[in-house]
Amino acid sequence: RRFVAAAESSVGTALGLGHVARFEGGASGDLAGELRAWLAERLRSGARKFVVAGGDGTVNLALSTYVSLRDEGHPSNAVFGAVGLGSSNDFQKPFDSDKRARLAGFACRLDFNEAFAHDVGTLVIDGEKRARHFFVNASMGVTAEANDRFNRGGPGLRAMKRVWVDGAILGAALSTFAGYENRAIRLALDGENPVELQLTNLGVIKNRHFSGSFRYDTGPAPDDGMLGVRICRDMSRVEMLGTLGSLAQGRFSGLSKRSGRDAKDVRVESATGTKLAVETDGEVVLATGCRFGVRQKEIMLCP
């Protein structure tokens, strides 16, 4: 509560805000439903600037809710900023960007004067009609499974999150590596014939930064209508550790068993029928097949 209050005070001062309508839901047990109703009412009343205070999952929930409302006919000119209160805060990365700042120690995206239309990634799970959205990155394979472990955690991991986030992320990754087996998948990009491979990791990215200090050396622009597809295949545990070290230094392209390109449409299917972990902005679901896409310049975000 103290962190949220400090963030709100700093944001209000920085933006010169008077009255601020604050959403604090969850009382009914349906946080998503409460947020949807609150945001719809605020849009109807004329509000157009919103600041999301929370981690990547909170940002995803708020922005996804708005995209859904807008698709149903609500105003399309709302602008969103964010204050990072989460563990990794990938939405705010890179932290040293010219347009980003820290207020009361919190990483922020609050320059409403420079807001721009940002792409939105989409994920459709086989057998579902509703599209999920992502605004940072998505993944399958070892990163998705490590995210699931990080989210669920145990007492030790939860305690480490509070004092050393990067250490908790590394711990989740290493414990996942210890039992990980490559997954047989079929991968098709932009309607090309599918390729079968032993998947170690698949990154589907709009931001080259992910999970603490890890980062790819290249990535798509936030508004170019493309997804960055980064593939690690058929790696041993030693090779996975080497890749982890390389990503901590921002190195990926041209290295063994790693490849990447940009695409608009990414289809993945389990070659064995086994359910696979699929992660979007830190949240994980299971699926035997899925399709990633992108909606270009769909939402106005502070830079």
- Per-residue pLDDT tens digits for 53-64: 999 999 999 999
Are 26 and 70 contained in the same domain?
A: yes
Residues 136 and 80 in one domain: no
Residue 108 and residue 131 share a domain? no
Quick one: pLDDT band at residue 203, thresholds 50, 70, 90? very high
Q: What is the pLDDT of residue 1?
A: 40
Residue 71 DSSP class = H
Q: Is the pLDDT confidence value at 3 over 60?
A: no
Higher pLDDT, 22 or 218: 218
- pTM, two decimals, is 0.89
pLDDT of residue 2: 41
Final residue belonging to a domain, choices 114, 139, 174: 114
Same domain as 97, residue 174:
no
**Where in the sequence is the domain holding 56, given as residue range(s)?**
2-114
**Which pLDDT score, from 0 to 100, does residue 15 have?**
61
The residue out of 114, 144, 176 marking a domain boundary is 114
User: Distance from CA of residue 174 to its chain's centroid?
Assistant: 21
Check if the beta carbon of residue 115 is closer than 8 Å to that of residue 79. Answer: yes
107 and 126 in a common domain: no
Residue 14: band (very low, low, confident or very high) from pLDDT cuts 50, 70, 90: low
Residues 81 and 184 in one domain: no
Q: Are residues 139 and 236 in the same domain?
A: yes
- Distance between CA atoms of residues 226 and 212, nearest Å: 23
Tokens 């010169």 -> residue: 16
Distance CA 161, CA 167 (A): 8
Q: Is the pLDDT of residue 165 over 90?
A: no
| Residues 168 and 285 placed together within one structural domain of the fold | yes
249 in a domain, yes or no?
Answer: yes
Q: Are 276 and 145 within 8 A, CB to CB?
A: no
Asked if residue 109 is part of any domain, the answer here is yes
Give the CATH number, domain containing residue 168.
Answer: 2.60.200.40
- Same domain flag for 160 and 102: no
**Statement to judge: residues 220 and 143 lie in one domain:** yes
303 lies in a domain? no
Mean pLDDT computed over 216-240: 97
Backbone angles phi, psi at 195, to 5 degrees: -115, 130
302 lies in a domain? no
One-letter amino acid at 240 equals: M
* Model confidence band, residue 88 (pLDDT cutoffs 50, 70, 90): confident
Q: Is residue 128 part of a domain?
A: yes
Whether residue 28 is contained in a domain is answered as: yes
Count how many domains the chain has: 2
- pLDDT given for residue 178 in this prediction: 83
Q: Are residues 198 and 172 in the same domain?
A: yes
Could you tell me if 99 and 142 lie in one domain?
Answer: no
| Final residue before a domain boundary, out of 114, 148, 180 | 114
